[in-house]
Chains A and B, each alone.
Chain A
Amino acid sequence: MSENASESAHRTPLYKNHVARGARMMPFGGWMLPVNFGSQVEEHHACRNTAAMFDVSHMTIVDLKGAADASIPSTTNRDFLRKLLCNDVEKLTGKGDALYTCMLQPDGGVIDDLIVYWRGGDDYRLILNAATREKDLQWIEQCLDAAGDQPELQLRDDLALIAVQGPLALQRFSDVVEQTDLAERLDQDSFNVNAIRRFGSSESGDWFIGRTGYTGEDGIEVALPEDNVAVLWDALHDAGVQPAGLGARDTLRLESAMNLYGSDMDESVNPYESGIGWCVDMTDDSREFIGRTALQTDQQPQGFDRQMIGIVLNDRGVLRGGQTILVNQQEVGVVTSGSFSPTLEKSIALARVSLAACNVRSATELLDQNCQVIIRGKPLDARFVRRPFYRKRS
């Protein structure tokens, strides 16, 4: 860990709180964040079995506000997002609905992945990665300049963001809202989390609750004013929600086969080559989103030689990003991110392979086939498996 990186890094409003709870802090994407609060594996299990909470205040929240006078119908922001994003915000038909999508380069390369929420009218909220913040904002500004109308961007650095995830997450959050004076600040109807649709959201004042997450469990992500976050965090802690760090967040998202930007994808690959072709919406022929032309090959999505697949290691060891994958002694691809899966108790990884090198026409043909992964110079036995590695019960 570089001294400079930790000294110059931003601190979330919960920084002191984390240190007081004995968190191991490390710099990540320009922020000092907790890696774990003792045991990464225990935090992982807490999220799968009960409830865990994550401080994700480092993430970038950008609002696109509609006209101040809501009686004037406007589609400036919607039109802009339909061009900027590869998934189609036209799908967002219920107020509060969320959509997973990417921003693409004209050549189809992934600039970032993000969640967009529709807040009614012409109001949208984007939640972007922290490590890509400057690049993302520059890109959005650049696209704004090229757009005819001028949507208004609002950076919400004034908001903290926490994720409460796990089978008991909604219950524990409801208990806390009822039992603390937090409830007085809120419009109760907006905070009946059980009434929020999966992949929907609800808001009251500056509190915003999305039924979204990055763990593969049911749960919510709560954006709220910085001044309120410690009260909520401590109340959730007292209600038995396990604080969890970036370490558990990574193994949880890996088991659920959710990509990590910068590891599993970047500008050099498109969504089809990253296992997220499902978030590219080609339905509306007239929608010229950035990157569309490059992705519209006559044979897509199988037209792209590089495809994502899961790998499970049969031998003892740990799969890590960058390791080479062999089939019949030929190099066929590379591990994009790997770790030890606390739920499966074996090492798992996401990998990108060349179908041609594997001598197959689709990644499906590879499922359950053996391969080898080179770990510290030694080829170890592994096999290709379907993603995700873990799916929550019901």
Chain B
Amino acid sequence: MAIPADLRYLESHEWVRENDDGTLTVGITEFAQEQLGDVVFVETPEIDLECEAQQPIAVVESVKAASDIYSPVAGKIVDTNAALGDTPELVNTSPYEDGWLYKIQPNDGTEYDTLMDAEGYESIVSSQN
């Protein structure tokens, strides 16, 4: 499966996209949604929630199990994907686009560059596949 080269990743299978306004959009990868199976509920974080890096701040529930979603960096939640309320399956059908979970404003704008790149994530996926 293709792993988008323009994104950064967490070991826990979140992807992170840097937006022009400096915020970061976070979702789960194709690999993660396949592992989870049919997603039936997403608990997104509260807007304005302040969090540390690697903090569980959202939950994706499939028919099979609940899975914690971690913050990639320290920062403040500025937006969440309202469409997931009625159509949580967007996480399955469009994990990198319509199925995004939340946007975070990082405390430190340079932290994004320290996150794992596509190549690093690819080696994690192949070791787990």
* Residues on A facing B (Cβ under 8 Å): 24, 35-36, 39-41, 247, 251, 316-318, 320, 339-340, 342, 347, 376
* Residues on B facing A (Cβ under 8 Å): 34-35, 37-38, 40-41, 43, 59, 61-64, 66, 85
Query: Across the interface, which residues of A come within 8 angstroms of B66, CB to CB?
Result: 318, 320
Bound-state Cα–Cα, A298 to B85, Å: 51
Q: How many A-B residue pairs have CB under 8 A?
A: 39
Bound-state Cα–Cα, A318 to B40, Å: 8
Bound-state Cα–Cα, A247 to B39, Å: 13
Ordered by A's residue number, 18 sampled pairs between the chains whose C-beta atoms are within 8 Å are A24-B37, A35-B37, A36-B37, A39-B37, A39-B38, A40-B38, A40-B64, A41-B38, A41-B63, A247-B37, A247-B64, A316-B41, A320-B66, A339-B63, A340-B63, A342-B63, A347-B41, A376-B59
Instruction: Please tell me if the beta carbons of B85 and A40 are within 8 angstroms of each other in the complex.
Output: no
Instruction: Please tell me if the beta carbons of B43 and A340 are within 8 angstroms of each other in the complex.
Output: no
Of B35, B40, B85, which is within 8 A of A340 by CB?
B40
Query: Across the interface, which residues of B come within 8 angstroms of A340, CB to CB?
Result: 40-41, 61, 63
Instruction: Please tell me if the beta carbons of A35 and B59 are within 8 angstroms of each other in the complex.
Output: no
Bound-state Cα–Cα, A256 to B30, Å: 32
Instruction: Please tell me if the beta carbons of B63 and A247 are within 8 angstroms of each other in the complex.
Output: yes
Instruction: Please tell me if the beta carbons of B85 and A316 are within 8 angstroms of each other in the complex.
Output: yes
How would you classify the secondary structure of chain A's contact residues: helix, strand, loop or mixed? mixed
- Chain A min CB distance to B55 (Å): 14
Bound-state Cα–Cα, A263 to B70, Å: 29
Task: Write the chain B residue with the least CB distance to A36.
Answer: B37
Query: Across the interface, which residues of B come within 8 angstroms of A247, CB to CB?
Result: 37, 63-64
Query: Across the interface, which residues of A come within 8 angstroms of B37, CB to CB?
Result: 24, 35-36, 39-40, 247
Bound-state Cα–Cα, A15 to B82, Å: 41
Bound-state Cα–Cα, A342 to B43, Å: 19
Of A24, A40, A316, A317, which is within 8 A of B63 by CB?
A40
Bound-state Cα–Cα, A256 to B66, Å: 22
Besides A318-B41, A340-B63, 14 other CB < 8 A contacts? Answer: A24-B34, A24-B35, A24-B37, A35-B37, A39-B37, A39-B38, A40-B62, A40-B63, A317-B41, A317-B43, A318-B66, A340-B61, A342-B63, A376-B43
Bound-state Cα–Cα, A339 to B62, Å: 9
Task: Write the chain B residue with the least CB distance to A42.
Answer: B38
Bound-state Cα–Cα, A62 to B25, Å: 56
Query: Across the interface, which residues of A come within 8 angstroms of B34, CB to CB?
Result: 24
Bound-state Cα–Cα, A316 to B60, Å: 12
Instruction: Please tell me if the beta carbons of A317 and B38 are within 8 angstroms of each other in the complex.
Output: no
Query: Across the interface, which residues of B come within 8 angstroms of A339, CB to CB?
Result: 63
Bound-state Cα–Cα, A321 to B125, Å: 29
Task: Write the chain A residue with the least CB distance to B92.
Answer: A39
Instruction: Please tell me if the beta carbons of A318 and B38 are within 8 angstroms of each other in the complex.
Output: no
Task: Give 10 nearest A-B pairs by CB, closest first.
Answer: A340-B40, A41-B38, A318-B61, A40-B63, A340-B63, A40-B37, A318-B41, A40-B38, A247-B64, A39-B38
